[in-house]
Amino acid sequence: MNQKIKNSVKVIALMIVTLSYGQSKAHLDKSKSLDERVSILLEQMTLEEKVGQMNQYNGSWDFTGPLPESGSEEVKYKHLKNGWVGSMLNLRGAKAVRATQQIAVEESRLGIPLIFGFDVVHGYKTLSPIPLAEAASWDLEAIEKSAKIAADEASAAGLNWTFAPNVDISHDARWGRVMEGAGEDPYLGSKIATARVNGFQGKNLDANNTIVACAKHFAAYGFTEAGKEYNRVDMGMSKLYNIVLPPFKASLDAGARTFMNSFSTLNGIPATGDRFLQRDILKGDWGFKGFVVSDWGSIGELVTHGFAADDADASAKAVKAGSDMDMESHFYVKELVKLVKNGTVDEALVDDAVSRILSVKFELGLFDDPYKYCDEVREKQVTGSASNNEAVLDVAEKSIVLLKNENNVLPLKKSGLKIALIGALAADKNSPLGSWRIAADDNTAVSVLEGMQNYKGNTLVYEKGTEVSTGKQSFIHEVEVNTDDFSGFDASKNVAKSADVVVIVLGEIGFQSGEARSRTEIDLPGNQQQLLEEIYKVNNNVVLVLNNGRPLALPWASEHIPAIVEAWQLGTQSGNAVARVLYGDYNPSGKLPMSFPRNVGQCPIYYNHFNTGRPINKDGNVFWSHYIDSENTPLYPFGYGLSYTSFEYSNLKLSQEQYKLGETVKVSVEITNTGDYDGKEVVQLYINDPVASIVRPIKELKGFELVPLKKGETKTVEFSLTNKELGFFNNNGEYLVEKGTFNIMVGGRSDKGLKSQFELK
Ligand code: NOJ
């Protein structure tokens, strides 16, 4: 029997079982509309079963948060059979998921299938670069493809819902979760959010290789005070609307069916209990029809925050605020039935939440075939396939950013060189997998050492130099940093001394960024800075390859080291991507999606800041907006990145000097590849509205294009600016486009470019 026939037989069998229990099977009728199917089913559900749909449990082995005491295997099994569970997270693998789905579908009264969620953040088993790195590619097609591959592998392993994309904008490199987002800019962040949602969900959610996306964390988590994890956020409305919300809105417009709320408070209200965010904005103004899942235990944390008195109060506040599904607090399943019965919570709110959840399950086709994602044959075929590896290699090399290349140290010659490769991270097959890779097997990345060994023309000698961390590395434990073992220094200095060039790989191990990994120093952890300086003393022809999940502040390296390559954590194909860039088989084209500060004291730092009332040192006195011990500018600005070739911009033109409000402003610029290599440049358009009813940033990205250029080639790039790009939200959340002068700048980085201006009449 082929799979299709088997599945149809199952559905028919299910119908018979259902009929014999005296239930209507009309919701299985595909000719009915989605809303009809949902309400037919809802009508048959007991209050307990409804609340069950709002309950999400962690699966049996992996966990990604603190486990509540009430979650024994036995309790979960009983709840599954009773129809008191709507979703599971962290279960994976076609076989395991099928077995659990079977309990829900075949043993519970109504047989409502579960939806299986997982943090497929940058791949399932074949990992792409961490999302921040991918954002550095500015290549929306490659980013969409990467999400598609993730969906392909995850959906074959039983999963149909990813807790991604993370669309949190952040200005603070101290916050470890910047590795999961797209950086500091809402425009770039919105484009990338759209690409990722499209990649995960595809055009057809009903297909067996697409999964539901979840825009998270709604909202403002990226502005957690002092970059400290799980902390408070205080923010004015115009910042919320102009900086934080756009990527969420873009995710919604791209069709994201679910949102996850946040651990943080916003202006004193925990996001999970925030009606304004979830009911007024998301489900109200924006008309979101999908469902909101809480973050892990965040309904329970309403009590800890000091916002709810007890479990019942927290449940009531969360459901009233619009949190539809409880991830691992176990509060809804314990409290909601009572709360409805005693009149604290209106059953209509429960019905609304359940309808949203059921709709997504119907859309996924789970009622037609609850096992459609549990395909062990497909799982074997797609997981880790050659074509998936090729695709993640492609996006990995596109994500690399060349920060410095003095005297053309790079690209390396392919023969005749003696290369010293130094650093524990150079041989590390685990760290490039990043922090969110719970489905990938440990040590499955190609290391830089392995990648470079593929180039046989040179002599390559490897020395570790120093360990970055000691002890066990895992998602759930603190990383122990090595600060006292210098035993590898001498051997690495010896190797460096006699080499033509030193390639040194330094930075953070995979678990030094990500959730719960805030840092107060954003330098090279442990002994690595010291190692770098010692190596430089014996051989100053050094290429520094950085592995990190956040911007680092490396002023010494930036001043002394001739070549610096930002290689983030690039996923499964990491080492191959790095080697191809070092040897010039890929000409780097990445641009920073987040400013790299000079020192941690500059955080938060971002390019689209306000002018302030005193931006310039006018009379040589101290009374201007500055630090007395650091420059204001970052070490490397947003949008910055070099290439082995060079680009020149010319002929910036506007189609007119004056436009009427509502007319499209057309901007064009010529760009020429003036160097010796073919390459790609990210052409960036920034605007500035110098006089407005609320202060606008000194510049804002409003267009970009990734332009391939052969050496010597010139191309014209055109941009359009409409009301969508020219306006802003005021402090009441109203969108305004105001008349007046606009400045524009076009170039290859946020701090320099050709300038012009136009008038909006
Ligand atoms: C907590 C994280 O904040 C969230 O992003 C993630 O999806 C859940 N844990 C589930 O792992």
Domain positions in the chain are: 49-379, 393-602, 647-760
Residue among 119, 221, 229 to mutate when testing ligand 1 (max atoms within 8 A of CB): 119
Span 594-624, pLDDT tens digits: 999 999 999 999 999 999 999 999 889 999 9
Secondary structure element (H or E) that encloses residue 132, with its range: helix 131-135
- Place 585 in a pLDDT band, splitting at 50, 70 and 90: very high
Taking the centre of ligand 1 as the mean of its atom positions, its distance from the CA of residue 296, in whole angstroms, is 6
Ligand 1 proximal residues by C-beta, below 6 Å: 64-65, 89, 119, 163, 216, 295-296, 515
pTM value is 0.96
Q: Which atom of ligand 1 is nearest to the CA of 328?
A: 10
* Distance between Cα 346 and ligand 1 center (Å): 29
pLDDT for 19 equals 47
Residues ≥6 apart with Cβ < 8 Å to 178: 132, 170, 172, 222, 513, 549, 550, 551, 594
Strand, coil or helix: what is 359? helix
Average pLDDT over residues 463-490: 95
**pLDDT tens digits, one per residue of 59-112:** 865 566 766 767 788 889 899 999 999 999 999 999 999 999 999 999 999 999
CATH 3.50.50.60 fits 647-760, yes or no: no
Segment 712-725 shows an average pLDDT of 98
pLDDT, average across residues 388-402: 98
Please state, in angstroms and rounded to a whole number, the distance separating the CA atoms of residues 703 and 725.
Answer: 9
pLDDT at 275: 98
Q: Superfamily assignment of 49-379 in CATH?
A: Glycoside hydrolase, family 3, N-terminal domain (3.20.20.300)
**pLDDT at position 249:** 98
On the CB side of 619, how many CA atoms lie within 13 Å of its CA?
4
In this prediction, residue 340 carries a pLDDT of: 98
pLDDT in tens, 541-580: 999 999 999 999 999 999 999 999 999 999 999 999 999 9
CA 431 to ligand 1 centroid distance, Å: 20
Q: Is 295 a catalytic residue?
A: yes
CA–CA separation, 78 and 373 (whole Å):
24
Atom of ligand 1 nearest to the CA of 217: 5
Average pLDDT, the chain: 95
CA of 72 to the centre of ligand 1 (A): 20
Write 225-229 long-range contacts (CB < 8 A, 24+).
226/172, 226/174, 227/172, 227/173, 227/174, 227/175, 227/518, 227/519, 227/603, 227/604, 228/174, 228/175, 228/518, 229/175, 229/176, 229/177, 229/515, 229/516, 229/517, 229/518
> Residue with the nearest Cα to atom 4 of ligand 1?
295
What percentage of residues in the chain have a pLDDT greater than 90? 93
Q: 215 CA distance to ligand 1 centroid (A)?
A: 12
Nearest CA to ligand 1 atom 7: 163
- DSSP reduced 3-state for 41: helix
Supply the pLDDT for residue 471: 85
Task: With a cut of 90, say whether residue 22 has pLDDT above it.
Answer: no
- 451-462: buried (b, 16+ CB within 10 Å) or exposed (e) per residue? bbeebeebebeb
Report whether 51 contacts 333 (CB < 8 A): yes
Q: What spacing in Å lies between the alpha carbon of 619 and ligand 1's midpoint?
A: 51
From 292, 296, 436, 517, give the residue whose CB has the most ligand 1 atoms within 8 Å, as the site to mutate. Answer: 296
Q: Which atom of ligand 1 is nearest to the CA of 90?
A: 11
The DSSP bridge partners found for residue 649 are 671
Catalytic residue among 119, 274, 295, 689: 295
CA–CA gap between residue 44 and residue 224 (Å, rounded):
43
Identify the pLDDT of residue 74: 84
Contact by Cβ (8 Å): 324, 356: yes
What does 221-283 look like in DSSP terms, one character per residue?
A: GGG-GGG-TT-EE---HHHIIIIISHHHHHHHHTT--EEEE-SSEETTEEGGG-HIIIIIIII
Please report the pLDDT score of residue 587 as a whole number: 98
Please state the atom number of ligand 1 nearest to the C-alpha of residue 216.
Answer: 5
Q: Please give the structure tokens belonging to residue 198.
A: 């499209």
Among 163, 294, 513, residue to substitute to test ligand 1 (most atoms within 8 Å of Cβ): 163
Residue 16, pLDDT above cutoff 60: no
CATH architecture of the domain with residue range 393-602: 3-Layer(aba) Sandwich (3.40)
pLDDT of residue 1: 44
